[in-house]
């Protein structure tokens, strides 16, 4: 972690940010995915960013060391170790990297030299270039003593490995496409990779209902700016609470159509926060919690819809509380239940709370919320009986 991000800047490019996390933090996630036990960072000395990385590594159960050059490195690696070497600035999808290695068998990953040099990778020979990632025997580190103390350690280790007979393995073309495997050298490149990474993760895919499609498009367009600013999912979660409070305010003053539209907007923001949080977790190498925050916010959206429906339904004289609450409660429970037990294209629309909010806003404009709620509940029951059940497993 010694190369500056750009001319005149002291910040190493290892601490450029992609997806809300530094490149070094992404590489720590790669180390965890490859079952590494220790992390050794080659750096000129400690810094606040490096200390933060150390805390993250130790919190994940890894031992963390800082080596100031090639000579101290040999004291940290034994001949029995298997060493994974990751070049500074490398951004790679851990899932794609892992499948290219055969357990602990050593290999130097290579790629065709065309375009690789312009992208910042090092040439090996006339036809091949490095990829910034290799797995080599720890005994090879001893040969660094024969080189100057200020040598480029990853480059020197790659040359030593190839001269020692470590086999080369070319990465497939699809692994090099998009943001799967990139060398990042500046803040502008990091920002571009971040945008491409989001587009790859959340771009065109299977058909989605309108609300989820709108959330996905918003994340693709604006997710890079949010992640670059930090705390993107927290900001979206706070926005959901604000939007629902505004919906409650409009309901208090009897403007139910607008209240339902704000609840619909809240549903879109919940889905956007789910996508952004999944990107943040991947960047940080974190597993999803047992109950994701977006699920809790989704329950809050359902409760808001139920309360808004109750507000729009007049309670008749002598009507029991249970009877008054039955239509909205039944609708929201069916919306949660039916998509879980049946399959089919129609199930994508069933759980779309954004679409539900638009439908109820139109119904509220005509003063027909209660009959629309009853029709929707009956339609869900019919679909639940007509569609095939989901397969378990």
CB contact set of 288 (below 8 Å; sequence gap of 6+): 278, 281
Strand partners, 21: 18
Does residue 19 carry a pLDDT above 90? no
Q: Is the CB of residue 53 less than 8 Å from the CB of residue 24?
A: yes
Q: Which residue has the higher pLDDT, 372 or 9?
A: 372
Ranges of each domain in the chain: 13-185, 203-386
Q: What is the pLDDT of residue 9?
A: 62
Q: What is the pLDDT of residue 379?
A: 92
CATH T-level topology, domain 13-185: Spore Coat Polysaccharide Biosynthesis Protein SpsA; Chain A (3.90.550)
Give the pair of three-digit tokens for residue 53: 């990385």
d(CA 391, CA 180): 33
Q: Is the CB of residue 369 less than 8 Å from the CB of residue 256?
A: yes
Q: Is the CB of residue 332 less than 8 Å from the CB of residue 302?
A: yes
According to DSSP, the β-strands at 90-92 and 181-183 are antiparallel
* Tens digits of residue pLDDT in 265-293: 999 999 999 998 888 777 666 777 878 89
Q: What is the pLDDT of residue 204?
A: 63
* Tens digits of residue pLDDT in 148-198: 877 889 999 999 999 999 999 999 988 888 788 999 888 888 888 888 888
Q: What is the pLDDT of residue 393?
A: 55
For range 101-124, the mean pLDDT: 89
Burial 82-119 (b: 16+ CB within 10 A, else e): bbbbbbbbbbbbbeebeebbeeeebbbbbbebeebeee
First to last CA, the chain: 45
Classify the C-alpha dihedral 358-359-363-368 as positive or negative.
Answer: negative
Q: What is the pLDDT of residue 209?
A: 87
Give the pair of three-digit tokens for residue 308: 């808004």
Q: What is the pLDDT of residue 187?
A: 81
DSSP string, 133-169: EEEEEGGGGGGGGGS-TTS-HHHHHHHHHHHTTPPEE
Burial 257-274 (b: 16+ CB within 10 A, else e): bbbbbbbbbbbbbbbbbb
* Tens digits of residue pLDDT in 199-226: 877 766 667 889 989 998 888 888 777 7
Q: Is 13 exposed, middle or buried (0-12, 13-18, 19+ CB in 10 A)?
A: buried
- The torsion angle over the Cα atoms of residues 144, 149, 154 and 160, rounded to 10 degrees, is -30
Q: pLDDT band at 354, cuts 50/70/90? A: very high
């Amino acid at each position: 972690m010694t190369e500056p991000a750009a001319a005149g800047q002291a910040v190493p490019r290892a601490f450029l940010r992609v997806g809300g996390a530094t490149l070094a933090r992404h590489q720590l996630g790669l180390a965890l995915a490859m079952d590494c036990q220790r992390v050794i960072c080659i750096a000129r000395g400690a810094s606040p960013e490096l200390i933060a990385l150390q805390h993250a590594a130790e919190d994940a159960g890894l031992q963390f060391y800082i080596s100031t050059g090639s000579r101290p490195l040999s004291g940290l690696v034994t001949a029995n170790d298997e060493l994974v070497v990751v070049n500074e600035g490398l951004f790679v999808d851990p899932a794609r990297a892992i499948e290219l290695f055969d357990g602990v068998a050593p290999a130097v990953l290579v790629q065709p030299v065309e375009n690789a040099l312009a992208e910042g990778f090092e040439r090996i020979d006339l036809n091949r270039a490095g990829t910034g990632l290799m797995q080599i025997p720890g005994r090879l580190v001893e040969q660094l003593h024969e080189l100057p103390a200020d040598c480029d350690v990853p480059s020197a280790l790659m040359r030593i490995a190839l001269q020692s007979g470590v086999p080369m393995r070319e990465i497939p073309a699809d692994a090099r496409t998009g943001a799967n495997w990139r060398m990042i050298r500046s803040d502008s490149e990091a920002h571009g990779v971040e945008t491409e990474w989001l587009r790859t993760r959340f771009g065109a895919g299977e058909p989605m209902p309108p609300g989820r499609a709108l959330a996905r498009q918003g994340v693709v367009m604006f997710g890079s700016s949010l992640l670059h600013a930090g705390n993107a999912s927290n900001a979206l979660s706070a926005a959901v609470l604000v939007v629902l409070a505004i919906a409650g305010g409009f309901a208090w003053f009897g403007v139910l159509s607008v209240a339902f539209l704000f609840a619909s907007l809240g549903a879109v923001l919940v889905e956007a926060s789910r996508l952004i949080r999944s990107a943040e977790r991947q960047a940080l190498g974190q597993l999803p919690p047992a109950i994701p925050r977006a699920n809790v916010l989704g329950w809050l959206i359902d409760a808001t819809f139920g309360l808004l429906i109750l507000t729009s339904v007049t309670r008749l004289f002598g009507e029991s509380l249970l009877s008054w609450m039955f239509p909205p409660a039944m609708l929201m429970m069916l919306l949660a239940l039916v998509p879980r037990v049946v399959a089919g294209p129609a199930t994508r629309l069933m759980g779309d709370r954004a679409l539900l909010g638009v439908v109820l806003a139109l119904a509220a404009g005509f003063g027909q919320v209660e009959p629309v709620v009853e029709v929707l509940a009956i339609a869900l029951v019919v679909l639940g009986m007509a569609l095939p059940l989901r397969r378990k497993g």
